[in-house]
Amino acid sequence: MRTDRDRDEAGRPRNARPRDAFGRPLPHGAQGIERVPDDYAPSAEEAVAAALGHLDDERPFLAHEVFEARWKCGPDEERDLWQGLAQICVGLTHLQRGNTAGAAALLTRGAERVAAYGTREPYGMDLAKTVEVARALAGSGALATAAIAAIRRTLAPDTAPDTDTDTAGH
């Protein structure tokens, strides 16, 4: 059993290892990207705004961390929403890494969680469209940049950058 794992005061695992821009762990002591703090507890609106900023910067791994932080501090009845959005962002991260099988699995799993919200649009997000786009991206061979932009547009349709990026990468 490993005893050298990073843990907080309550004994819960923490991941203090640095990460590269695609979320891959780097060796301890290496220079990585700035991470979302473990104690970050955003409101829903703060989480959406922060995740959108990370997606605008093509950093879905960081958007995933923001959504994960929200699911940990948010109300139980929204847990599937934030977990699903985090999984979709991990799927986008896998696309960036060239792992199309992992991307398809996470995009599909995330879409299934978010689909439970039906046509509701909490916090300005078009969840029905998010589910539709995530399912379409799963296994599509889409380029990561196009996929990130497509998901980003569904999360805040009124504020999305105006792009005509083809999600199929054609």
Domain locations in the chain as residue ranges: 44-155
Residue 147 tokens, joined? 């996929």
- Looking at residue 166, its pLDDT comes to 41
pLDDT tens digits for range 6-49: 666 776 656 678 787 777 787 888 887 787 777 888 999 999 99
- Looking at residue 25, its pLDDT comes to 81
| Residue 94: pLDDT over 60 | yes
CATH number of 44-155: 1.10.3450
pLDDT tens digits for range 49-87: 999 999 999 999 999 999 999 999 999 999 999 999 999
pLDDT tens digits for range 123-167: 999 999 999 999 999 989 889 999 999 999 999 877 655 544 444
Position with higher pLDDT, 158 vs 1: 158
Alpha-carbon distances of 65 from 40, 51, 167, rounded to whole Å: 10, 8, 24
- Looking at residue 1, its pLDDT comes to 44
| Residue 112: pLDDT over 70 | yes
- Looking at residue 7, its pLDDT comes to 66
CA-to-CA distance for 136 and 61, rounded, in angstroms? 20
* Spatial CA neighbour of 150 closest among 43, 13, 58: 58
pTM: 0.83
Position with higher pLDDT, 110 vs 159: 110
- Looking at residue 76, its pLDDT comes to 93
pLDDT band of 4, cuts 50, 70, 90: low
3-state secondary structure 49-100: HHHHHHHHCCCHHHHHHHHHHHHHHCCHHHHHHHHHHHHHHHHHHHHHHCCH
Which residue do the tokens 């109300």 mark? Answer: 75
Contact 134, 114 (CB under 8 A): yes
